[in-house]
Each structure stands twice: as structure tokens, then as C-alpha cells.
Amino acid sequence: MAKTFSLRCYCYLDRMQPQYASFVGTITRGDLPIEGMAALYVEMAPGNEVFRVVDIAVKATEARPGAQIVEREFGMFEVHSPSQAAVIEAGNVVLDRLGLSAADRIKPQVVSTQVITRVDPYQAQLINRFRRGSMLVSGETMLVMECAPAAYINIACNEAEKTASIKLIHVSSVGRFGRMWLSGSEAEIMTAKNAAVQALESLEGRVDA
């Protein structure tokens, strides 16, 4: 393992929610996940380390890779399986080979949250131009959340969908910051926001310098 290796994100999703799993299916270039599967997201630096780590995970377990991404600074991968045990095992094998524990990950930080009520029709149209999920309809309330490291936005989104009746508009989980856009009634969006924040704040880890 390189001396400069950093475990930026390590997060486990126990059960992928219907909209979240469907959204991931629109963007993934690997094995397609479906609702109800467990998933693991791992982000690291240097980015090229991701190739070796994915190799460790898929050779040792039955978990299948859905994403293997290297961008300017970081690498990120996702594995999933109908078996929660297989995904947990994949994570344990990776951590063991790296000589790390989940506590060595960076603790997620909520960078910003925006709740916009009665979205204007023109703003809705702008957002719909880039979204890969549901349509944003004017008059709805929209939540925009940003967190770091980026891959943690996946657990925030999945937990938000568990607790509130919302629409998933878009999720971006690669880069320095992760972002998600959700819409619904004001009450449901506030419930979703609280669930997402709680999910991130409940994860332990080291403070990024």
C-alpha cells in the first residue's frame, strides 16, 4: 500500500431503495444493481489504487462491481449483491488487505443544504436539463445537499428515500463533493433532509486535515 494512501469514504448501504437503485442503474457502467440489494462504496486516494482494490473485492467474494471510477484526484468503486453478508465480507477483505479499519475513513461532513420552496418553472426546466432521475415540477419543494467526501452522498440519498416520500432528481458522487437533488412536499423534504443529515453524522471516522 502506498504511503500516501487515504481511505476517504467507506459506507455500507443495507438495502438499496427503489428510486435510488433505479437511478444508479441509469449511470452505472458495470453490473446493474436492483432494489433491495446491499451495496458498499469506497473512495480513496491516489485514484489509481482503485483498480487493485476492486480486484481484491471481486476475487474474494461474490459481490459484483457496479462502478470503478478514477477522476482527477480520487478513485471510487461500488460493489453490490443480494446478500448483505457478501457485501460486508467484501468490505472486510478490502480493509484487511489494506491494513485498515472502517475507523480510518474520513468522517463525512455536510457542506451545505438548501431547501427551496415553490420552485420556479424556469429553474425547474434548467435542472431537468441535466437530471438523470425524476422530473422536477414547478411548485414543488427541492432539497439540494452537498457533502464531503463525495461518495457519502449515496448513503445520504438512500436513507432519505427510506424515511420520506420524495422524488430523486439527481445524484453526483464523484469528485471533491457529493451532491443530491430531491423534490416533494415541504414536509417530506424536511423529513428527508433530517434523515440524510443524521445518516452522515452517525458515521464515525477521522477528521480530514
- Specify the pLDDT at position 2: 46
Cα 94 from Cα 98, distance rounded (Å) = 6
How many C-alpha atoms does 44 have within 13 Å on its Cβ side? 27
Residue 1: pLDDT band with limits 50, 70, 90: very low
Q: Average pLDDT of 149-168?
A: 98
How does pLDDT run across 49-82, given as a tens digit for each residue? Answer: 999 999 999 999 999 999 999 988 899 999 999 9
Please, which pLDDT band fits residue 3 given cuts at 50, 70 and 90? low
pLDDT digits (tens, 9 = 90+) for 16-41: 999 999 999 999 999 999 999 999 99
Of the CATH numbers 3.40.50.10490, 3.40.190.80, 3.30.70.1710, 3.40.1280.10, which one belongs to the domain with range 6-104?
Answer: 3.30.70.1710
Per-domain boundaries in the chain: 6-104, 109-201
Same fold, 6-104 and 109-201: yes
What is the average per-residue pLDDT within 106-133? 97
Where helices occur in 36-152 by DSSP H, the ranges are 49-60, 84-98, 121-128
Q: What percent of the chain has pLDDT over 90?
A: 94
Mean pLDDT of the chain: 95
Q: What is the mean pLDDT of residues 132-156?
A: 97
- Alpha helix positions (H), the chain: 18-27, 49-60, 84-98, 121-128, 153-163, 186-201
Average pLDDT over residues 114-140: 97
Query: Which class for 112: exposed (0-12), middle (13-18), buried (19 or more C-beta within 10 A)?
Result: exposed
CATH number of 109-201: 3.30.70.1710
Q: What is the pLDDT of residue 72?
A: 80
What mean pLDDT comes out for the span 125-153?
A: 97
pLDDT of residue 209: 61
